[in-house]
Amino acid sequence: MSIARKLIPTGEETFPFKFQVTTTAANTVFTCPLSDFGGLSPNLNIDWGDGSNSGLITSSSSVARIHTYVSAGTYTITISGLMPGFTVNNSASIRNLITAIVQWGSVGSRTINFYGCVNITSIPSSASMSAVGGYDGLNEMRSFANFMRATRITTIPSDIFAFSPLATTFSDTFSSIPTLSTVPSGLFDANTSATIFSSCFFACTGLTSVPSTLFDQNTLATNFSGTFRNCLSLTNVLQFTFNTSVTIFNSCYNMSTTTNSLTGTAPELWNRVPTPSGVDCFNNCTGLSNFASIPLNFK
């Protein structure tokens, strides 16, 4: 599918962004993690799901983004308007309160992260949200940094990034998720503008395999630093055949112990011209068939 077909036509119906919070005590304070991005600021309204409303919010630091839930319960928060950024960023005060993603909507988002939301266990499928825009609302995304970092999702929808051709950053997108075991084929195929995949799957200790063609379409990528670092159960190593623009492979497969499952043949990245930086790229990857011949600065 072409990029043009994935961008929302002008005038198409818009939908709000929705997610759930669950409180277990009376008078719980929740601060909606709004953020600016690329010179854009929020211009939105928040329905708190308990019969109250924020009124117009035009600043990511507005006090109107803070709400007190008088009674314990589960509430659906609805955001309508322009929301350039939604960044939990492991905030201790809210990360455990967010329990579900309901719909992405179409609110002009450029960056979204649920970093640290351990009570999020799934990403809704595009089919389940077809009546409310599916994944179309992610069409203006530029950064998926920390997108699902340290959540507890068990699967990744294969088309979650298919409507985000402008995205350039995928650092820590799925890092530190012990419940993730596989990665779907074609996951990043539509993201041909992507340049950064650093720590994308870092410390996914339950990850056992990734498609051999995972990054084949990402020919502009420059940074794979720590991409699979400490993925101790991972069994296959990628060849990065089409990623010839990469300048950084530091710690890409760096394992904290030789007790890891990585096998196969390491790509001879050290023979590329110019030679990319590869410090600790294959550290402790003794199961690789050519480990003995890997230069010291790559292991």
Please give the full DSSP string across 78-134, using - where no structure is assigned: EEEEE--EEE-TT-TTTTTTEEEEEE--SS--SEEE-TT-TT------TGGGGGGTT
Edge-to-edge strand order for the sheet containing 111-113? 34-35, 85-87, 111-113
Q: What is the pLDDT of residues 184-204, one digit of tens each?
A: 999 999 999 999 999 999 999
- Domain positions in the chain are 16-143, 168-299
Q: Calculate mean pLDDT across residues 166-195.
A: 98
Q: What is the pLDDT of residue 195?
A: 98
Type of residue numbered 49: G
Indicate the pLDDT class of residue 12, thresholds 50, 70 and 90.
low
Q: Is the dihedral of CA 264, 270, 272, 275 positive or negative?
A: positive
Tell me the one-letter amino acid at 100: A
**Mean pLDDT for all residues in the chain:** 95
119 neighbors 23 (Cβ within 8 angstroms): no
d(CA 21, CA 30): 9
Say whether pLDDT at 11 is over 70: no
Confidence class of residue 9 from pLDDT cuts 50, 70 and 90? very low
Q: What is the DSSP string of 226-249?
A: TTTTT-TT--B----TT-TT--B-
Q: Pairing between strand 85-87 and 111-113? A: parallel
Percentage of the chain beyond pLDDT 90 is: 95
Render pLDDT for 214-257 as a digit per residue (tens, 0 to 9): 999 999 999 999 999 999 999 999 999 999 999 999 999 999 99
Share of the chain above pLDDT 70, in %: 96
Q: Is the pTM of this model over 0.75?
A: yes
Asked if residue 4 has pLDDT above 50, the reply is no
